[in-house]
Amino acid sequence: MKPLNIALKRLIFVVAMIILNGCSSSHNNHWSYEGIESPDHWADLNKEFETCQKGDHQSPIDIHNKDALPSAQELMFAYLPTHTHIINNGHSIEFDMDEDNFIAVDNKRYKLKQLHFHADSEHKINGNQFPAEMHLVHEAADGQLAVIALLIEIGETPVYDHIFDKIPKIGEEIKIDLHLESFIPKNKARYSYNGSLTTPPCSENVLWLIFEQHLFVPLKQLQKFKAYYSHNYRPTQENHERHIYFTNH
């Protein structure tokens, strides 16, 4: 009887694992930009990602300047040199912040949490896509997010000559000092609209600020980033008659 009991136990174990794996697949937290886990399938991967498909304030979008309404929005930066942790999170290269850097939008304060990159750009301007896009992610005390998007073109700028010289392996981190104040465009003209995260769960609690002035990053630096992530952008989403605003100060 012992061999039968052992065989029975093995069978029960195998069946249990099949059931467990089946249950796990319906609550998959993993997502990507290609194949069956690409943006078109995010909502099918996990119930918590349903907003990616059902939401009507999704990001990114294609911004047409002829549709932008004038705005008197006030924006203030309080960026200082800061210690950062560079993380390769499997979706992008992320710089997590230590110090209390923040912006204020119409006197509402948002603390800078992290910045990361997408290639190619996620937002488009008048149908034009750019080589890359930087997102500076800020969070208010009430949980609302404000994301500054800086569109990236190829060019020589000393500030970004070494930005991707140190890229950690997935699961590792590198500590560096970053002069955040050098990231602030001199021309603060910008578009703004209410949207979502561009990654799951696609939560619709984001104020987007897309600057008209672009960043210029050396080709060699951008190639270093694209050696890891050459297609980590979500396609543009339907606007659903949302208002786009433009502030010229």
Q: Are the beta carbons of 46 and 30 closer than 8 angstroms?
A: no
Residue 35 lies in a domain: no
Residue 191 lies in a domain: yes
Residue 19 lies in a domain: no
**pTM, 2 dp:** 0.87
Residues annotated as part of the active site: 91
Residue 89 lies in a domain: yes
Residue 10 lies in a domain: no
Range of the domain at 131: 54-247
Beta bridge partners of residue 135, listed in sequence order: 116, 149
Q: What is the domain count for the chain?
A: 1
Residue 199 lies in a domain: yes
pLDDT in tens, 194-243: 999 999 999 999 999 999 999 999 999 999 999 999 999 999 999 999 99
pLDDT in tens, 3-41: 445 444 444 333 333 333 333 333 457 899 999 999 999
Give the model's confidence band at 159: pLDDT under 50 very low, under 70 low, under 90 confident, else very high.
confident
Here the CATH number for the domain that contains residue 126 is 3.10.200.10
pLDDT in tens, 48-69: 999 999 999 999 999 999 999 9
pLDDT for 28 equals: 54
Question: How far is residue 14's CA from residue 19's CA, in Å, rounded to a whole number?
Answer: 9
Residue 119 lies in a domain: yes
Question: How far is residue 150's CA from residue 104's CA, in Å, rounded to a whole number?
Answer: 17
Residue 79 lies in a domain: yes
pLDDT for 22 equals: 38
